[in-house]
Structure 1
Amino acid sequence: MKRGSALRVAVVSGLHRTARQGTVDALLTAVPRSVGVHHDFAEIDDGLVYRVTRDRWGIRDRVPVDLAHACASCTLREDLIPLLRRLATESEHELCVVETWDSVEPHTVAEAISLEENLELGTVLTAVDAEYVSNDLTTHEQLDERGLDIAHNDDRAVAEVLARQIEYPNVVVATGLPDPVVSGPLLEQLNPAAAILAPGPQLAEVATHGFDPAAATQRTNPAWAQYTPGHTGRVRTVTWTRTRPLHPERLHNALEDIVARSLRGRGRFWIASQPDTLLVWDSHSDLISVHSGGPWLASLPEAAWEMVPEMRRASVSLEWCPEVGDRRQHLAFTGVDLDAEELVARLDSCLLTDEEVGTSFPSDPFADVPPERQP
């Protein structure tokens, strides 16, 4: 139970540095007695991380941080959380604005803060520059090509990071005017639950709304998320749900064509060669990652269900089918000028035919998919 004197914290993430810093400035200006904290990873290759604190009048200090290892997770665990605990004890500030580094995804920071007794997670915001949203969601660039990687093995793509930053928060702050035909609808359809605001004094109000990481996980975890279709301007989101398994080889042969049709694909799918394994689809532009999301609930003994997250069990209850349980295809594809009929027809062509139901599949291109990725 959190105490009434808990320090309120706002997390601001975003690949677009100028937009993110402007959003932090707007919060610091709008909320009295607020302070901003940012960890600068620009020199992480040399083992250096700097903590920068500022208020509405500018930078207060910039100090090197002594870490066991120079990495984002170590910084969170060894410096940021202890600092926030100390600020909460001092009771000097009404709000602490945590500004993440460019390529840091907000969920790990938000979840760590939400577990602290004397910290109150007021809001999670992602700041974007409306001018660059469309290009950065379709680019093939990797983080290291822009100098944004924060580890030697950080092989994430720019589009992947930006999409995750947009999909998680309860507020997206757009600098510039989002295009009502493309960039605006992209923000709305990638995260229908987020308020889309301009930077300004109105951010003071959202800083007090409260952020629920469990609800954000419910929306974003592809093992149980429920996606909805949408169509605004040139942007369309197509959801595809079927209760028949996919042919592993036909799907594998069609992957390149399917992925190329959208800029974001997400969800869960079922292939006939692995009837007990929920597979996760995660695509960005023409890049796709497939990994195991664990077992379908229908493959587990009923006694094991108590070990499954409650939010997943609730989702399953909405879509349970007597014949196949929770096994299904539930995929969402968001794209610009996306041809819904052609996409659905291509996906349907990968399903088992009546003649193929019950046959074996000795050749499985998905046999070696990795387990669920850890943040």
Structure 2
Amino acid sequence: MSVTEGRLPVAIVGGLHADARRAAVEEILRTVPGSVALHHDLSAATDRAVRRTVRDASGSLGEGEAPLVNDCACCALREDMVPELLRLATGGGHRLAVVELWESVELQAMAAVIAAEGAPLELTGVATAVDPALMVPYLANGDDLADVGFAAAPTDQRTVGDTFARQLEYPTVIAVAEDETCEESADDGDLALLTQLTPGARQVRVGDGALVAALLAGFDVEAAAARQHPACALLPQESEEHGVSTLVWRRDRPFHPDRLYEALEDLSCAAARSRGRFWLADRPDTLLSWDAAGGALCVESAGPWLAALPDAAWDMVPAERRVAASMDWHPEHGDRCQHMTFTSPGLDREGLVALLDSCLLTDVEYAAGPDGWKKLSHAFDELLDPVS
């Protein structure tokens, strides 16, 4: 392992599966002499502080506390993490720093913080550690993080399912670490579900010796953010393996707002994970994102479709967005489209397609054109434009 002079390589390892995460970090510390792990324990935030530990393969190198910032444990982590990494970098003698994130901390947010600091810190990799035997129960868990002790801030309203889904979809490395002491071991279906949900990541098994190389391969924060943006997200591909299916549903016509709204509950519970972008007839210029896990659904505006922008604005749009738009381009609607994916064991593909298709405009409704569509009921107004 070669290290650029004056720089400290930094790798992030996160994930709700604590045992898998610790196994991954311990392997890195054993494999790379001079490596250290930085961890902030947010479970102690009730004592008005976040506990910080630094360790290497031999054990603890130091402990400390970071006071809460605005009653927010995650904010305290943000404030303390970079100064501590800079201290490790300037202290010399360390070949790699591993940031082991606490259970529910967002990898994307912390990666952006480290990358923004720049030299002497060099973000080289981001991984989520996963025990595949826990894939289904975690994705299906609709409990609020606060109810299970994993909330990172008083205002944290995330659920276990949607937090776990984002942890799977952001990194370029998935560290697979099965708990050999557990009675329930992963089967082919669990591994198929993991593979289908992480099309942009490299899977490495903890203990096989490939994890360090994968985490030193480099990490592009902007490209990773683009893979998450609803307009150009890297979504799962059509697949069917070991009882696990991914349905990719694409259509050109807009949704009827009333019929889609009435189907939201059934659609959000139809799969372990569903994502995508869609458009409503009464909001033809608005790109809407679909994000569901654990029975919880988030529908949000992601800005305008490119076809709704003046030509002069296209130069300010990231290349990834323009490429994604070109793949969905329609001679009449532009990049407006329905592009949604549903991944789950035991997926009712035919029933799901029928339900989705039934929510589209009929031939008669479609023939009314945009002026007629705007006269339809605005069923999503309360959801998308809540009164503050």
Name the CA distance, whole Å, in 1 between partners of 2:69 and 2:351.
52
- As a proportion of its length, which structure holds more helix? 2
Unmatched tracts of structure 1, length 5 or more:
none
Runs of 4+ in 1 over 6 A off after TM superposition: none
Tell me if structure 2 keeps the 8 A contact 1:40–1:50.
Answer: yes
Which region of structure 1 is more displaced relative to structure 2, 53-62 or 361-370? Answer: 361-370
- Code of the aligned partner of 2:320: M
Tell me if structure 2 keeps the 8 A contact 1:270–1:278.
Answer: yes
Tell me if structure 1 keeps the 8 A contact 2:45–2:73.
Answer: no
- Code of the aligned partner of 1:292: S
- 1:290 matched to 2:299? The reply is yes
- 1:366 matched to 2:380? The reply is yes
Give per-residue Cα distances to partners, 1:43-98, cap 9 Å, x unaligned: 21332111110000112222111454353552344211122223223332110000
Q: Which residue of 1 aligns with 2:115?
A: 114
How many residues in Structure 1 have an aligned counterpart in Structure 2? 370
Q: Which residue of 2 aligns with 1:258?
A: 267
Q: Which residue of 1 aligns with 2:149?
A: 147
- In the TM superposition, what are the counterparts of 1:29-178 in structure 2 within 5 Å? 29-115=30-116, 116-176=118-178
Aligned counterpart for 1:213 among listed residues 215, 221, 226? 221
Name the CA distance, whole Å, in 1 between partners of 2:48 and 2:384.
30
Name the CA distance, whole Å, in 2 between partners of 1:310 and 1:91.
39
Q: Which residue of 2 aligns with 1:247?
A: 256
Aligned counterpart for 2:195 among listed residues 162, 180, 188? 188
Q: Which residue of 2 aligns with 1:225?
A: 233
- Code of the aligned partner of 2:382: D
Give per-residue Cα distances to partners, 1:9-29, cap 9 Å, x unaligned: 110001011211111111111
- 1:28 matched to 2:36? The reply is no
- Code of the aligned partner of 1:198: R
Secondary structure of the corresponding residue to residue 365 of structure 2 = coil
- 1:197 matched to 2:208? The reply is no
- Code of the aligned partner of 1:368: E
- In the TM superposition, what are the counterparts of 1:327-342 in structure 2 within 5 Å? 327-342=336-351
Give per-residue Cα distances to partners, 1:317-357, cap 9 Å, x unaligned: 22222211110001111111102122111111111112002
Give per-residue Cα distances to partners, 1:252-302, cap 9 Å, x unaligned: 111111222101111110000101111110111321111100111111111
Which region of structure 1 is more displaced relative to structure 2, 298-307 or 357-366? Answer: 357-366
Q: Which residue of 2 aligns with 1:271?
A: 280
Tell me if structure 1 keeps the 8 A contact 2:69–2:76.
Answer: no
Name the CA distance, whole Å, in 1 between partners of 2:141 and 2:253.
34
Tell me if structure 2 keeps the 8 A contact 1:72–1:104.
Answer: no
Aligned counterpart for 2:328 among listed residues 316, 319, 342? 319
Which region of structure 1 is more displaced relative to structure 2, 282-291 or 170-179? Answer: 170-179
Secondary structure of the corresponding residue to residue 343 of structure 1 = helix
Give per-residue Cα distances to partners, 1:190-209, cap 9 Å, x unaligned: 11122222212332222321
Secondary structure of the corresponding residue to residue 326 of structure 2 = helix
Tell me if structure 1 keeps the 8 A contact 2:173–2:215.
Answer: no
Name the CA distance, whole Å, in 1 between partners of 2:29 and 2:150.
26
Residue 243 of structure 1: how far off its partner (Å): 1.1
- 1:356 matched to 2:355? The reply is no
Identity in percent: 44
Name the CA distance, whole Å, in 1 between partners of 2:169 and 2:11.
17
Aligned counterpart for 2:352 among listed residues 319, 343, 357? 343
- Code of the aligned partner of 1:323: E
- 1:301 matched to 2:310? The reply is yes
TM-score w.r.t. the length of structure 1 is 0.93
Aligned counterpart for 1:179 among listed residues 186, 190, 193? 186
Tell me if structure 2 keeps the 8 A contact 1:3–1:117.
Answer: no
Secondary structure of the corresponding residue to residue 155 of structure 2 = coil
Which region of structure 1 is more displaced relative to structure 2, 296-305 or 216-225? Answer: 216-225
Tell me if structure 1 keeps the 8 A contact 2:267–2:352.
Answer: yes
Tell me if structure 1 keeps the 8 A contact 2:124–2:215.
Answer: yes
Secondary structure of the corresponding residue to residue 245 of structure 2 = strand
Name the CA distance, whole Å, in 1 between partners of 2:30 and 2:234.
37
TM-score w.r.t. the length of structure 2 is 0.90
Q: Which residue of 1 aligns with 2:182?
A: none
Q: Which residue of 2 aligns with 1:5?
A: 6
Which region of structure 1 is more displaced relative to structure 2, 30-39 or 62-71? Answer: 62-71
Residue 250 of structure 1: how far off its partner (Å): 0.6
Tell me if structure 1 keeps the 8 A contact 2:45–2:68.
Answer: no
Which region of structure 1 is more displaced relative to structure 2, 170-179 or 333-342? Answer: 170-179
Name the CA distance, whole Å, in 2 between partners of 1:348 and 1:141.
30
Secondary structure of the corresponding residue to residue 131 of structure 1 = helix
Secondary structure of the corresponding residue to residue 140 of structure 1 = coil
Residue 223 of structure 1: how far off its partner (Å): 1.9
Residue 315 of structure 1: how far off its partner (Å): 1.5
- Code of the aligned partner of 2:293: H
Unmatched tracts of structure 2, length 5 or more:
180-184
